[in-house]
Structure 1
Amino acid sequence: MSRFVLVTASQDFQRKVSQAVRGALHGSVQVLPPSVLLGGPQELFDRLTGEPPEVLILGPGLPEDDALKLATVFDLQFPEISLVLVEDREPEQVITAMRAGIRDIVSPSADGDQLRVLLERACLASAGRRRGLVAAAGPERAPGRVIAVMSPKGGVGKTTVATNLAIGLGKIAPMGVVIVDLDVQFGDVASGLLLEPEHTLKDAVSGAAFQDSMVLKAFLTVHPSGIYALCAPQSPSEADHISGEAVSHLLSQMAAEFQYVVVDTTPGLGEHVLATLEQATDAVWVCGMDVPSIRGLHTSFSILSELQLVPQGRHVVLNFADRRSGLTVQDVEATIGVPVDTVIPRSKAIPFSTNKGVPLLQDSSRDGAARAFGKLVERFDPKRNAQPQKKLHRRMVIS
């Protein structure tokens, strides 16, 4: 599917849009000649393959009347498609364009970064309208799964697990996954996904975004794999402005809009972690293959059981697994008192992917760690869970 359709004869602007999308936004660009305006939506769709686009870009260099006429028809028949007009217009002309259904206007001289931000916003608006139309046409969609990725101590690869899980879930539910970096002081999701966000968590829990989910979506960053990200504040001091109540409200908003909300929490059991657990449907517990990490996990289970904050979906991930550590999976299970669900072997590919900002599941790696991440993702696949499982737990072997 071509997520973006551009109608223009300007080759310079074609290149500009393609560069803005390439490597930054999920999907491709299909360019159509101005002649499709005369045939209306039907001729435009006849030239496309697959599903309708999310964003239709009109211009530059199109006859104004024909462009606005097509926009009016699209706004009536296909309101889920975001319409963008490329033209320098006077203020009074902007009103005319908006009445025709144009959602945004951009100058032909806009640079690549400006175009990328505008197209991100148009995609978010399109996704919101699609979900609204689905909800209006049938029963209300159940809230998405909120998956808290947690660890009692730092340094166990929690962010690596969270980013790979989000990338993997994005293949199950394209454009239906958001990863939230709740390590509010030293979050690494942005670097782990090679993102440079314009907005962060602080923006999303204050002002209009706190009241309006559509405004909230404007603060998300689109990853090339087709997932969204809400990154941690740029300064540790900004964490003081983020309360547990705000976190709880934010995750509730996210669950109403996305099929999967992956939350990379801060180590320990602080205010933000407890607020996350109140909203979580699942918890992915990450521990390393060392005694302090394993004992910390056992203690966390005990405390949260007393507080009745253990989510129904429990998934234990043993990271950095290595026969030479002096411990076995059986030793870990005996200490924490529950089965280990996923064992991720120690791998040289993991630090390399982290430094590169490209998770293993995005890079289509065949490394053993990538296969383990894939098994973790499968635990959240509704198709897999719909099938009867012969065994609830299979003893893992460290390679």
Structure 2
Amino acid sequence: MTIVCRPDELISDLGDDVLHVEDLDAALLALSNDPTEDLVVVGPRTDAAEALRFAAHLRMERPTTGVILVREQVDVELLTEALRAGVREVVRADDTVALVAACQRSRALSDRARAELHVPDEPEQGERGKVVTVFAAKGGCGKTTIAVNLAVALAGIDGTRVCLVDLDLAFGDVAISVQLDPVRTISDALPMAGHLDTTGTASLLTPYRPGLDMLLAPVTPGDAEKIPASLVSELLGVLRGMFDFVVVDTPAQFSEHVLTAMDVSDHHVLLTTPDTPALKNLRITLDMLDLLSYSRDIRSVVANRSDSKVGLTPGDVERVVRSPLSLQVPSSRSVPISINKGVPIVLATPNHPVSQAITKFARERLIGRPVATKAKAFARRGAGRR
């Protein structure tokens, strides 16, 4: 059941399993009477300041319960204050689709929060893989290249099973980067939405090499708009049960689909290059992730083309973004050459400094296994500063 405070015509579209209350005190009483309830939708007629105080209270007293705020108008100031108070999402009163999707995401986040708060004493049957989302808020940082090579590096470690998901639904480049024919794409999952299983999901995948499959982006114009964020969440949930790692390549924007991937991720790989626009966008990204209460412990900041002679050192980058660098990938002409050939550099030239840096990151940061001494020595000789 969903608790709705001061319902209006839009919020009534949430379905029959809804409890309508007239004020936030009544909402608190309803929550106390039902310890399993995990969602409160606050309608546009409720005072914004009262709604934010209510969300801040629940964030401390009942962290698994989500609050969604519905407003007639949404601006940056309101969004910032709402996120700080603990509101999970703010949606416009005239957007039914966005409200329904926000409720689905909030419930998924509540389920995950409850699972983390109530860890069973005995290990669960069957292990779940890790979701790693690669994101850059500015295009041209080499995000797809890093995501592809990271997936290849993970798949080459002790039989690890990996799936690379191209979540850049409108302009995905994963297929062309590795010269795959996108016969099956994520849009083929639409008829299975709501009842996806491993068999149906496996039918969507395109094999690339042993241990590495890919879920490719749509190629037909307009298909991207048909894919709801709820389907992305469902797909990632099934894939993490099929693979050891699910690497997600994203578009260069905080879309609803990207936030869905961030929500279910075990690790965020945040990419930048040593230039002012990219660093500015990374700083905004880090602030946004903090506002959304994502853990900093699952965050890795990566500097691509880190040794470019552009007047900014890795130390300068760390000072600007106020975060340490987990990975520095050197600049090399071999990278665009590998892209044009359609063969990831980690696969084509495993001993290249770029390959060594990405493989080292995959082993030590994502899998937690130190690289061999010989590999470290090579990295020092070939890659220079680390």
Identify whether the pair has TM-score above 0.5, normalized to the shorter chain.
Answer: yes
Matched, 1:340 2:298: no
The aligned residue for residue 184 of structure 1 is: 169
Of residues 275, 290, 299, the one that matches 1:290 is: 275
Q: How many Å separate the matches in 1 of 2:308 and 2:290?
A: 31
Residue deviations 1:178-204 (CA, integer Å, cap 9, x gap): 000000011111111221132101112
3-state secondary structure, aligned to 2:222: helix
**SS of the residue 2:125 aligns to:** coil
Q: Aligned-residue CA RMSD in angstroms?
A: 2.3
Contact 2:149 2:346 in 1 (8 A): yes
Identity %: 34
Partner residue in 2 for 1:167: 152
Mapping of residues 1-399 of structure 1, within 5 Å: 139-172=124-157, 174=159, 176-207=161-192, 210-310=195-295, 312-380=297-365, 382=367, 384=369, 398=385
State the alpha-carbon separation in 1 of the partners of residues 326 and 361 from structure 2: 8
Alpha-carbon contact 1:144-1:261 (below 8 Å) kept: yes
Counterpart amino acid of residue 151 in structure 1: A
Q: Output the amino acid matched with 1:192.
A: S
Whole-angstrom distance in 2 between the partners of 1:258 and 1:385? 22
Q: Distance in 1 between matches of 2:169 and 2:279?
A: 24
Does the 8 Å contact 2:167/2:217 carry over to 1?
yes
The range that moved more, 302-311 or 252-261, is 302-311
Which whole-Å deviations, capped at 9, do the CAs of 1:210-252 have from their partners, x for residues lacking one? 4222111011011124300000001241101111111111111
Would the aligned equivalents of 1:159 and 1:264 in 2 still touch at CA under 8 Å?
yes
SS state of the match for residue 248, structure 2?
Answer: strand
Letter in 1 for 2:269: V
1:329 partner letter = P
Q: Structure 2: how far apart are the matches of 1:287 and 1:340?
A: 10
Distance 1:369 1:299 in 2: 27
Give the CA deviation at 1:298: 0.6
* Secondary structure class of the residue paired with 2:347: coil
Maintained 8 Å contact 1:199/1:220: yes
Deviates most, 194-203 or 361-370: 361-370
Question: Partners in 2 of 1:311 and 1:146 — Cα distance?
Answer: 16
Residue identity matched to 1:356:
K
Q: CA deviation at 1:209?
A: 8.4
Q: Distance in 2 between matches of 1:208 and 1:324?
A: 48
Structure 1 residue 386: deviation in Å? 12
The answer to whether the Cα contact below 8 Å between 1:203 and 1:209 also exists between their aligned partners in 2 is no
TM-score by length of 1: 0.60
Q: Describe the SS at the equivalent of 1:198.
A: coil
CA contact (8 A) 1:210 1:250 kept: no
Cα 1:209–1:233 shift into 2, 3 Å: farther
Structure 1: runs of 5+ lacking an equivalent: 1-137, 388-395
Give the 3-state SS of the residue equivalent to 2:369 in structure 1.
helix
Structure 1 stretches of at least 4 aligned residues deviating more than 6 Å after TM superposition: none
Q: Distance in 1 between matches of 2:206 and 2:343?
A: 16
CA apart distance, 1:347: 0.3
The CA deviation string for residues 259-280 of structure 1, in whole angstroms up to 9 with x for no partner, is 1000001112111110101100
What are structure 2's unaligned runs of at least 5 residues? Answer: 1-122, 373-382
Q: How many correspondences in the alignment?
A: 254
Change (3 A) 1:209 1:218: farther
- How many Å separate the matches in 1 of 2:317 and 2:335? 22
* Distance (whole Å) between structure 1 residues aligned to residue 146 and residue 307 of structure 2: 17
User: 1:75 maps to which residue?
Assistant: none
Aligned 8 A contact 1:281 1:312 in 2: no
Partner of 2:138, secondary structure, is: coil
Q: Is contact 1:210–1:216 with CA below 8 Å preserved after alignment?
A: no
1:116 corresponds to which residue? Answer: none
Give me the whole-angstrom Cα distance separating, in 1, the residues matched to 2:147 and 2:292: 25
SS at match of 2:209: coil
TM-score by length of 2: 0.62
The one-letter amino acid of 2:240's match is A
Using a 3 Å threshold, how does the CA distance of structure 1 residues 311 and 278 change in structure 2: closer, same or farther?
A: farther
Change (3 A) 1:282 1:220: same
Partner SS state of residue 343, structure 1: strand
Q: Output the amino acid matched with 2:198.
A: S
- How far 1:382 moved relative to its partner? 3.5
Checking the alignment, whether the CA contact within 8 Å between 2:154 and 2:359 is kept in structure 1 is no
